[in-house]
Amino acid sequence: MSMDPQHSVSYGDLLLCCREEGHAMDKIPAIPLSLRLPDDELSWDLEKNGEFSVRSANWTIFGGCDGEDGVSASNTSSLWNKIKLEENGFFSVFADWAQACLARLKGADYGLFFTVSWVIWTARNRRLFEGEVCNPTQSMEYAMERVKELQKDEEEVRGGGVSACQKWQPPSVGLHNLNVDGGAVEGCRESAGAVVHDSGGEVQLAAAWRFKDRGEPMIAEAKAVLMGLQMAVDGGFTRLVVETDCQGLMTVIKSQEKGCSSLHLILDDIYHVCSLLDFVSWSFVRRDYNKVAHGLAHCLPWGTTKKVWTSDFPDCIVSFVARDFPMNES
């Protein structure tokens, strides 16, 4: 974000105008600053794409109306009091009834139940916040695919091994792996960690950052990718395989999604840095095989905002570095 000198309202004036709004005082300084200095744009913060919608405005003004029927959260909770379900007795609250139903499920059905619930909740949020109507059949097919994957992973663990494709693998000769991870320090401030491995599995460069900002998890993950890419370019690494355990971010980056939100401002910076590389590819990696970057994202002491290592890496990642080294694979 850059402030146009011709604008009559300065950044400081904007903060003063928003002093009465409370949350705006925290949100405005948290807007990521781009090194590209793009022109200012109006962005509607209540939508992921940064575009204004009557739906999200209505939600904010009227305290959370649930779509076109205008049923609020308070109305739906009071509706439960009018329903009587007999399940070996009367249940006065939904949680007790749900717990009784779950108690009857077999162990194998738990994963199916929660996966389907998650897919339904995701479809509901897309409809409510993004106006996207999901296909029920496709949603259930997606849920079943995820359940099959989970069952396969569980069978492999019980069998005492993990397939080779699931292990962290060093890159091909001539390439470097850039593993990144974003997080929150004690649930409040954003943080990021990044590590560069060569084709032999050796760590060439590592870094950790702590930000004053406090935003959504996806933004923290995007900042980790951006900071990691900038670190790699500054270190002279221009042929990269970027790995992260945030699958949603990988999908957004690969789709080259455009928008004017805070997230899209970071994405545009990511695309810009990628244009400086000779080669870049993107890969999702399981969280268990992104431990080094995760450890870096949570290793900085209070008062430190950035730390870069080329050797003598912090103790919090030494064991993970050793585990990932190819010679130490069991």
- Residue 262 is part of a domain; what is its CATH number? 3.30.420.10
Helix axes 107-125 and 136-158, enclosed angle (nearest 10) = 140
pLDDT grade for 75, boundaries at 50, 70 and 90: low
Answer for the pair 167, 326: CB distance below 8 angstroms, yes or no.
no
Asked if pLDDT for residue 241 goes beyond 90, the answer is yes
Q: Please name which of 242, 316, 323 lies closest in space to residue 279, comparing C-alpha atoms.
A: 242
Structurally, the chain folds into a number of domains equal to: 1
Residue 24 has pLDDT above 70, yes or no: no
The band of 310, judged by pLDDT with boundaries at 50, 70 and 90, is very high
| 135 located within any domain | no
Structure-model confidence comparison of residues 159 and 190, the more confident one: 190
Overall average pLDDT of the 173-194 stretch: 83
The boundaries of the domain holding residue 250 are 176-328
Tens-place pLDDT, residues 132-156: 787 888 888 877 877 776 676 566 5
Residue 199 lies in a domain: yes
Q: Is residue 183 part of a domain?
A: yes
- Whether 164 is in a domain gets the answer no
List, in order, residues 6 or more apart from 299 with CB less than 8 Å away: 193, 208, 314, 316, 317
